Structure 1
Amino acid sequence: MAKPRIKKGVTLLISRVNSIITIPLFFFGTHCSIIFLLFPRALLRTTNHGHWEPALLNMIIELFLLVLLLKGLSKAGNLDYADLLLPLGRWMSSFLLIPLTLYLLLIGIMGIRGFAELMQIVFVLRSPLYSLLILLCLITYVGSSVGPRGILRASTFLSLLYLPALLFALLGCSINNSKWDNIFPIINTSFDFMHHGMYLVSLFSICPFLLLGMLPPVTKVRMKPILLTMVPLTILYMVIVYIPILVYGINAASLMNYPLATSIDTVNITWTIFDRISIFYAAALLAFVMLTASFVLWSSALLVKKMVPIWKESYIRPILCLFIFIIAFLIPNWNSYMSIASKDVWFRLFIYILIPLAVYFRGGFIQRKERK
């Protein structure tokens, strides 16, 4: 009698630790992999002042979609996207799951291709693009092979290891090179950013909330810890937008392709073991990009496996990894990268709106059916 009770107690403890610590750190880390490279550039071009307003609106939109998704998942029980939506039938489930799978792959493609560009700037200027992409895709494939529990454990370790380094880089940039007069005017009463197409591009930054829909069979996702994580995330969103403004001013910062990376690279702290503080930034970003890319590769492979059960997952993952490499390699330069980020806006909005709504209504249907 004692052994089953001990086993049950350990299982409950692990579940609680995952809900309170592991999942929020994973949620925070996946945001870090997305927002640092492209988000400042996109948001700086939406308006000339009051940039905290569009950043805050981004988080409000994500909060609404996140609550909708988590409520649907909690009503449905331990079901992921495939288990929730496949019973709707072949045509409806394909209409929902195929675009979702493609979008998950797109997250991996954009993350890996964007970081390869940063690696050429910070680490290895003369290395060919294909060699960097091969390295990143191999790490992604190995990471996806450990499974969701391994990825979640790695997210906790990497967050504890690299978040301090990332915060150190941001803090060093803020203290050393900031001109605080550049922050004014703070308030934008015209809300002109809402009329700017670049604002819709910046909404790519909220996509990590979709990854939570693949976790219920692995571990329970509690709403309260995730909502509490939104508070430091909102602060981080505002900080990474205002650092280039404080360093360069809005006119210069809005013209840069890599405003945050360039701002961090201006800091020279002689007592560190590295000459450039941007090394801390790039190393932390590498960890979070690989974490997110590994998870989306595992998730997309699982979705494909459940949609087509006769296919072996051991074959699906390498094929999808090769697909990520090929598409990333076909993006020739940063302008093409930004063009993709601008042209996939409506596809992205389609996923953001349709998937949380489908999960919410499907979860409600399952809950009512169980009550009857």
Structure 2
Amino acid sequence: MYFIVHLGLIFFMYPGDIIASTQDGHWIPIVLGFALHLAALSLYLKGLFNWGNNDIIALYMKAGKGYAVLFLLPLAVYFFMACITVVRCSAEIMTIVMLSSTPLWAVMLTFLLIPTYFALKGITSIFRTGVLIGMMNVPIILFFFSFSFQNIDWRYVFPMIGKASFLTEPSYLESFFVFAGGFLFLGFIQPHVAFRKRYVILAAIALLPFFIFSVYIPLLTFGQSTASTFNFPFIVSLDTISITWLMFERITVFLLLSLISFLMLFLSLSLWSTMRIVHAGIPALKPRYLLVSIPVLVYVVCLAIPSWTDIVKLFWWNTYLRFYIMAAIPLSTYFLASRSKKRMVRS
């Protein structure tokens, strides 16, 4: 699930953010961001396994209400804002590529109804659906990924060393969206779904080529100056692929549908995790009512966003919260779980 959720997040906003952040040596910001993500993930997993067969809600509640407010409330807000961003961006992409005559409100409604249904069925149903979707769509992604190299010019890979000024670029800071939200759900699924730390780390390492090539395929196809003008450079680069023996003209549609299905899984996990946090804070609210009211609120906010410029602004406003979540949740989980484990050993 961790692997396919990230596949859904990588290919949309991330390539454009990295390409816009620097003129040369794009592999450096990619590897740096991935290294920070891997460090946060490793710390988070270590904390979860120190805590045992339980979720982080129980961990923060046991530590005290102050800890719960300090960490769980921002996390719920982040999940909520991530849902808004994903729904609105995905609807924009769908209308551009394949549903140009369909109203945006209808696309967003459809895009929210399916994840809401998954979330209502529970976390085990989400994971079963994820396995099925992964088995069907990962081969499709790998197939088209292999053909995306046919129009590249390797000369565009140089120069390979750039300036460190990308560290302060807003576009680079925004690129951490793909790193921050895709692993936090692991803290909510125990004891409902068991997983092994080793397999999650291996899945993370397996994602590195996708991070690199999602940026370098449009770069090597169009060059820096042209690729930087696209909002979704990887999606645009797929339109240049020609497979003569394939009967379909626009293969982008197949890849897009596969990625959209992965994003729906991310949305269902985010909605379910948000429901868990809100229910822990206000037990009187029933989970089913929350899983209906939260998507409705997301939909209303999405309707209130008038243009793509406002989506970009929202994406930037979320940056500070994103870094807080990415740093604070793994660190606090590790230290609180380690402290709890030491107390249990002493007692």
Q: Aligning the two structures, in what range does the TM-score lie when normalised by the shorter sequence?
A: over 0.9
| Separation in 1, partners of 2:143, 2:100 | 24
**Helix, strand or coil at the partner of 1:78:** coil
Asked whether the equivalents of residues 78 and 318 of structure 2 are also in contact (C-alpha less than 8 Å), the reply is no
Stretches of structure 1 lacking an aligned partner (at least 5 in a row): 1-25
State the one-letter code of the partner of 1:63. Answer: L
Quick one: which of 78, 102, 105 aligns to 1:127? 102
Query: In the alignment, does 2:174 pair up with 1:201?
Result: yes
| Separation in 2, partners of 1:330, 1:260 | 28
Asked whether the equivalents of residues 112 and 295 of structure 2 are also in contact (C-alpha less than 8 Å), the reply is yes
Quick one: which of 217, 222, 226 aligns to 1:248? 222
| Separation in 2, partners of 1:33, 1:338 | 19
| Separation in 2, partners of 1:49, 1:310 | 54
Asked whether the equivalents of residues 215 and 221 of structure 1 are also in contact (C-alpha less than 8 Å), the reply is no
- 1:207-251 per-residue CA deviation (whole Å, 9 max, x = no partner) reads 212111112222233221111112221110000000111111001
Q: Following TM superposition, by how much is the alpha carbon of 1:187 offset from its aligned partner in structure 2, in angstroms?
A: 2.8
Number of equivalent positions = 345
Asked whether the equivalents of residues 33 and 289 of structure 1 are also in contact (C-alpha less than 8 Å), the reply is yes
Residues 178-189 of structure 1 aligned to structure 2 (within 5 Å): 178-188=152-162
Q: Following TM superposition, by how much is the alpha carbon of 1:89 offset from its aligned partner in structure 2, in angstroms?
A: 2.7
Query: In the alignment, does 2:242 pair up with 1:274?
Result: no
1:73 aligned residue: 48
1:12 aligned residue: none
| Separation in 1, partners of 2:266, 2:213 | 22
Query: In the alignment, does 2:145 pair up with 1:170?
Result: yes
1:45 aligned residue: 20
State the one-letter code of the partner of 2:340. Answer: I
| Separation in 1, partners of 2:177, 2:245 | 37
**Helix, strand or coil at the partner of 1:311:** coil
Residues 40-119 of structure 1 aligned to structure 2 (within 5 Å): 40-119=15-94
**Helix, strand or coil at the partner of 1:48:** coil
- TM-score scaled by length of structure 1: 0.89
| Separation in 2, partners of 1:144, 1:273 | 37
Asked whether the equivalents of residues 17 and 172 of structure 2 are also in contact (C-alpha less than 8 Å), the reply is yes
Q: Following TM superposition, by how much is the alpha carbon of 1:158 offset from its aligned partner in structure 2, in angstroms?
A: 1.0
| Separation in 2, partners of 1:166, 1:304 | 36
Query: In the alignment, does 2:139 pair up with 1:154?
Result: no
- 1:253-298 per-residue CA deviation (whole Å, 9 max, x = no partner) reads 0121121111112223232242111012111111101111011111
Q: Following TM superposition, by how much is the alpha carbon of 1:88 offset from its aligned partner in structure 2, in angstroms?
A: 2.8
Query: In the alignment, does 2:311 pair up with 1:305?
Result: no
Asked whether the equivalents of residues 115 and 268 of structure 2 are also in contact (C-alpha less than 8 Å), the reply is yes
**Helix, strand or coil at the partner of 1:257:** coil
2:204 aligned residue: 230
Percent identity of paired positions between Structure 1 and Structure 2: 30
**Helix, strand or coil at the partner of 2:25:** coil
State the one-letter code of the partner of 2:139. Answer: P
Quick one: which of 341, 348, 359 aligns to 2:315? 341
- TM-score scaled by length of structure 2: 0.96
State the one-letter code of the partner of 1:313. Answer: P
Deviation >4 Å, runs of 4+: none
State the one-letter code of the partner of 1:125. Answer: S
